Structure 1
Amino acid sequence: MSRQEPPSARQIDDVETYDVVVVGAGAGGLTAATIAAADGLSVLLLEQADVVGGTTAISGGMVWIPGNHKAAAEGRADTLEAARTYLGETVPGADRVRLETFLKFGDEALRDLEARTSLRLKPVPTYPDYYPDLPGATAGGRVLEPVPFDARALGKAFALLRDPLPEFVLFGGMMISRQDIPHLRRAGRSLRSTLHVAGLLARYGWQRLQARRGTTLYLGNALVARLLRSALDGGVIVRTGASVERLEKDANGRVAVLDVAEHSGRHRRITARRGVILATGGLSYDAELRGHYVPRAAGTLSATVDPGVAPRGARLAAVLGARLSPPTEQGAFWVPASTFTRRDGTRGIFPHTVTDRAKPGLIAVDATGRRFVNEAVSYHEFVRAQLGHGDVAIPAWLICDHRFLWKYGLGKVKPFTRSVEQDVASGYLKRADGVAGLARTVGVPETAFVETVSEFNRHAMRGDDPAFGRGGNIYQRSLGDADQTPNPCVAPIVDAPFYAVAVYPADLGMSAGIVTDERARVLAEDGSPIPGLFACGNDMASIMEGAYPGPGITLGPALTFGWLAGRTVAGANI
């Protein structure tokens, strides 16, 4: 039966009624659903995919909440005034009302979620803001990460949780924490690290006797698992494989009716007495809308979860007269990404966030064979540099030597990989015995490339990078290798063979989206709230206006405005 048929032309299998219907089961949607249920409402959570979690489940799970009480308790006191100053420097064009709402309610949302749900976050004391030298920046504490979660607590619902990216797990299913990574590098050289890694392997082996993958969850997977457990405990009905095809208003002008198609072929008409909350993940895969918000050179690559063919929140809302972000070229959050084909034939997209670019012994070059950026800047700034150089830096090439590849990995190639022949044969990893040969292999001018590597190495022997100042602030150094002195981000590229991977601009989510007010109510073109319609997560036009001030600036607002949406639809006096 055609998806384009109007509801009246279909066989409606069921008609259901709930207080609230939430569309999308990422961080924002799960938060909204859980809090609405905690406030006593009947809640249906619809997810188009067969699993929940969306892009959150494959993310780092970092949550940016300035002035949070947890950092203060660990001696990392922050003030909202300092955060306000910092955001004024980094997001000068922001909607001040919504930005102030985020600052005011971020920590209150955190406290309430931890009091009434299974969500547990802890501060990351040494993760700086991305522009640490600007006024109001902090060296750590504004960002929180999920406390590890034992997936066995989900019971059968563990099957509903989206898996992390296979490139970010070991041995087919073992997740590791940030704290485990240095131990893995030092295993065999340090007794303490060797014992630590042995413990990880023993635990994972035991878990695999009981489950299809490791059950100790970290990062975004842990965040989603905690929210899913909370939603189920609160009585939220979670329905996967269900696509919302149409929203309608009732006789009073309130958005209250949803036309839903399920993978099983059933069609349902669902009524929401209090409201509908959109949290479908944004418009990354809507080619027409996306084109209004990114430069042409950016292309269409996205590191977010592919949502399938159902209309996204922006499309559903626009039909009802919702306002979308005005056209801009600053409408995305960026990451350099490499692409490949997995053994099962699926397309892989590896986001080069923090695992390789800032490590010592790597540079990036453009099509001229020259460096064009400080490789240790944030992933968002790296892509902005690519876009600023036009087609000549798309793709850019990440260059390293054998020592680097063995110790840190490169893209999907994990550290300590004994054979890279398959990645070389597939074309993902370029290899040559000499620097000049690598230039020919990747197709950049040989003379310029050899000069670039030689000049970089000459200074790198002393830990210097006069061309771009790599390792010049605490953010960059925090992502380097503390064992590399005097500069944790700089080392020469000298040990043959030499390797390269191509990286392209990819969005981590769109900043542009549905325009809302400070209570997450969707606004019409005239600026008035559309009764009964809310948006949060990446569906909501970001308060960051295309800027990326620090780690977790998508998930922090997602939790906060998801909480606000849930409380508002429940009639709470906020």
Structure 2
Amino acid sequence: MEQAQEYDLVVVGSGAGALLGAVVALDAGMSVLIVEKTEVLGGTSATSGGGIWIPDNHDMASNGLRDSVDAAFRYVKACAKGLSSDDRVLAYVETAREMARYLKTIGIPYRSMAKYADYYPHIEGSMPGGRSMDPADYNAAKLGVDGLKLLRETNPGQLIMGRMTINAFDAHVVLAREKGAKWLLTRIMLKYLLDYPWRFKTKRDRRLTGGQALVGGLLTALRKRRNVDIWVNSPLQSLERDGNRVTGVVVEHQGKAVKVRARRAVLLGAGGFERNQAMREAYLPKPTDVEWTATPVGCNTGDAIRAGADAGGQLHLMSHVWGGPTMSVPREDKYRAILVERSLPGCMAVNAAGKRFVDESCPYPEFQQAMYASHARGEAAVPAWIVFDARFRQNYPIGAMPPGGAIPDHRLRKSWLGEVYWKADTLEQLAAQIGVDPDGLVASAKRMTEFARTGKDLDFDRGGNVFDRYYGDASVTPNPNLAPIDQGPFYAIRIYPGEIGTKGGLLTDRDARVLDDAGKPIEGLYCVGNNSASVMGPAYPGAGSTLGPAMTFAYRAIAHLSGKPIALQRTDLLEAQRAPQLDEAQA
């Protein structure tokens, strides 16, 4: 085994949490090595929407919004359902806004999404908008073409016509068909098509948005700093220990096992385990299949989770995922997540009985959980089906299918029929093709059509809250999420209970230190992102609840490692939570 040089900090993984931790460490004067198992950087973060969930953030005031640590703490604590420590929750809601301001100082400004509601509007402390933030568009020229080649490409579903990027603000205008949507879409396409100097260099859009903007900005920040090395194609093999202290790593680098000493610490940020079928079988609800996940192939195989556990780290939340329905698309290397199109009016989700089992416009983790719940009741909802009519097909995108008004059926690949989508003149014929009960399907469509007329979904209250309505069609009344399903031909796509990542991993404290089975920190070992157990417990409080904590706890980790730990300010909230527990125990 070769002995490599020493670094102050070794970072395992290259997602947002890992890269942000590296940048902060460099600013603190440390030497840093980043090891990444694949040939490109960015992990799942680069393929994500790039959003971060930041309570009481610096941009809320510009939108006339007010928030507080108190409200955010109550909200996240309720969401976590006792599966995340109160001090860790407080650490997040206090520090996230500071981390977001730091992103701005290193050239990655974020904007508050004033109309994007928290995912659980019924829980005390939720906000009707403003906590989720989207990164400003980033000019790839700052990173350079060579740097862009190192940045993992985004998912096809986040591109217009497979080429052009779009940010969350513009996507909302287009999907909700707000005023000016067509002109906005035209402008985005023209800007890309006319950017000839850049297009001679690469087919990738100069305009980086979402996770591409975030990771592109972080890579640019790294390139501006000294004292950092990056090894790609270098998977982690194990952690080195001296007693209870982690002292370094063993990685495979250039075909050899190399031991690297970490003078101060190792930071794990290598994602979850959704790409490991054996771990899925061991921990996740059944049925489960590695093919259903929407995360990049070759990433998130649980290597760093297992290495941390071998070093004595405690595992937590291993049966939970950041769930979402996914679909298979030929020639794409991974399943495609169906995150927002379900909100558009004129579609419904059904099980094998042809019955609806969920509010189709609900947050995607709730949708995935509803699939499993329906399946557990013997209703065969794995897979399930999204059914829609000709009106929906004409006006809206769904999965891999653009609106029929832009790409009619005859221009879709012929091989897609019966594999990506199913089509029939009547609902009964469609039911026969997809293997669902025809009477149930016809009855569900008839009931949905009546709900569209009255504007009230009596079964699941679709469109009955501010979150549902965000991705509804603003031109549809009386309910932007409901439209008749009565105009043939009829269509269906098949969906599976996939995910955008697992949320179980190594249990950490408020400074991202890995805890052992006795609840004590393992010296020299920190962990962030989906490599760690989520601070959100089993829930998904709002858009950006993965990347926000990943970077916030990386920020806290480096502060602690630098000897300047970030103290909790509102400890009175922790005391207020302890009092009822004491009373309850005494009773």
The TM-score with structure 2 as length reference comes to 0.89
Inter-CA distance 65–309: structure 2 relative to 1 (3 Å threshold)? closer
Per the alignment, residue 147 of structure 1 pairs with: 136
Q: Is the 8 A contact 2:463 2:482 kept in 1?
A: yes
Q: Is the 8 A contact 1:68 1:142 kept in 2?
A: yes
Select which of 300, 305, 321 maps to 2:296.
Answer: 305
Q: What secondary structure, in the 3-state scheme, does the structure 2 residue paired with 1:40 have? A: coil
Residue 380 of structure 1 and its aligned partner are, at CA, apart by 0.8
Q: What secondary structure, in the 3-state scheme, does the structure 2 residue paired with 1:439 have? A: helix
Residue 234 of structure 1 and its aligned partner are, at CA, apart by 2.1
Deviates more, 1:75-84 or 1:301-310: 301-310
- Misfit runs of 4+, over 6 Å: none
Inter-CA distance 224–360: structure 2 relative to 1 (3 Å threshold)? same
Deviation readout 1:433-483 (Å, 9 max, x if unpaired): 111111111111112211221222133233332222110011101111111
Alpha-carbon separation, structure 1, partners of 2:395 and 2:169: 16
User: Does residue 388 of the first structure (1) align with residue 373 of the second (2)?
Assistant: yes
Inter-CA distance 193–454: structure 2 relative to 1 (3 Å threshold)? closer
Per the alignment, residue 4 of structure 1 pairs with: none
Residue 102 of structure 1 and its aligned partner are, at CA, apart by 0.6
Select which of 528, 531, 541 maps to 1:536.
Answer: 528
Inter-CA distance 326–154: structure 2 relative to 1 (3 Å threshold)? closer
Per the alignment, residue 419 of structure 2 pairs with: 427
Unaligned runs of 5+ residues in structure 2 are 567-587
User: Does residue 67 of the first structure (1) align with residue 65 of the second (2)?
Assistant: no
Alpha-carbon separation, structure 2, partners of 1:464 and 1:424: 35
Select which of 451, 454, 460 maps to 1:459.
Answer: 451
Alpha-carbon separation, structure 1, partners of 2:348 and 2:512: 42
Per the alignment, residue 467 of structure 2 pairs with: 475
Alpha-carbon separation, structure 2, partners of 1:26 and 1:284: 15
Q: How does 1:443-454 map to 2 (within 5 A)?
A: 443-454=435-446
Deviation readout 1:117-161 (Å, 9 max, x if unpaired): 222111110000111132211111111111110111001211111
Select which of 246, 257, 276 maps to 2:248.
Answer: 257
Alpha-carbon separation, structure 1, partners of 2:89 and 2:392: 41
Per the alignment, residue 208 of structure 2 pairs with: 217
Q: Is the 8 A contact 1:67 1:80 kept in 2?
A: yes
Q: Is the 8 A contact 2:272 2:302 kept in 1?
A: no
Residue 515 of structure 1 and its aligned partner are, at CA, apart by 0.8
Q: Is the 8 A contact 2:317 2:503 kept in 1?
A: no
Q: Is the 8 A contact 1:339 1:347 kept in 2?
A: no
Residue 324 of structure 1 and its aligned partner are, at CA, apart by 0.9
Inter-CA distance 544–182: structure 2 relative to 1 (3 Å threshold)? closer
Q: How does 1:315-464 map to 2 (within 5 A)?
A: 315-325=306-316, 329=319, 331-342=320-331, 346-354=332-340, 356-390=341-375, 392-415=380-403, 416-418=406-408, 419-422=411-414, 424-425=416-417, 427-464=419-456
The TM-score with structure 1 as length reference comes to 0.91
Residue 426 of structure 1 and its aligned partner are, at CA, apart by 5.5
Alpha-carbon separation, structure 2, partners of 1:121 and 1:318: 35
Alpha-carbon separation, structure 1, partners of 2:559 and 2:522: 17
Q: What secondary structure, in the 3-state scheme, does the structure 2 residue paired with 1:464 have? A: coil
Alpha-carbon separation, structure 2, partners of 1:223 and 1:104: 22
Select which of 537, 545, 556 maps to 1:564.
Answer: 556
Alpha-carbon separation, structure 1, partners of 2:181 and 2:467: 25
Residue 218 of structure 1 and its aligned partner are, at CA, apart by 0.9
Q: How does 1:493-508 map to 2 (within 5 A)?
A: 493-508=485-500
Q: Is the 8 A contact 2:271 2:299 kept in 1?
A: no
Alpha-carbon separation, structure 1, partners of 2:300 and 2:537: 27
Residue 298 of structure 1 and its aligned partner are, at CA, apart by 4.2
Residue 197 of structure 1 and its aligned partner are, at CA, apart by 3.4
Deviates more, 1:428-437 or 1:90-99: 90-99
Select which of 192, 195, 198 maps to 1:204.
Answer: 192
Q: Is the 8 A contact 1:359 1:408 kept in 2?
A: yes
Alpha-carbon separation, structure 2, partners of 1:518 and 1:158: 34
Per the alignment, residue 177 of structure 1 pairs with: 167
Alpha-carbon separation, structure 1, partners of 2:530 and 2:302: 14
Residue 186 of structure 1 and its aligned partner are, at CA, apart by 9.9
Per the alignment, residue 36 of structure 2 pairs with: 47
Q: What secondary structure, in the 3-state scheme, does the structure 2 residue paired with 1:340 have? A: coil
User: Does residue 167 of the first structure (1) align with residue 152 of the second (2)?
Assistant: no
- Which amino acid is the alignment partner of residue 303 of structure 1? A
Residue 402 of structure 1 and its aligned partner are, at CA, apart by 2.0
Deviation readout 1:472-520 (Å, 9 max, x if unpaired): 0111011111111111000001222111011111122222100111111
Q: What secondary structure, in the 3-state scheme, does the structure 2 residue paired with 1:221 have? A: helix
Q: What secondary structure, in the 3-state scheme, does the structure 1 residue paired with 2:541 have? A: coil
Q: Is the 8 A contact 1:172 1:213 kept in 2?
A: no
Q: How does 1:10-89 map to 2 (within 5 A)?
A: 12=2, 15-89=4-78
Residue 308 of structure 1 and its aligned partner are, at CA, apart by 5.1
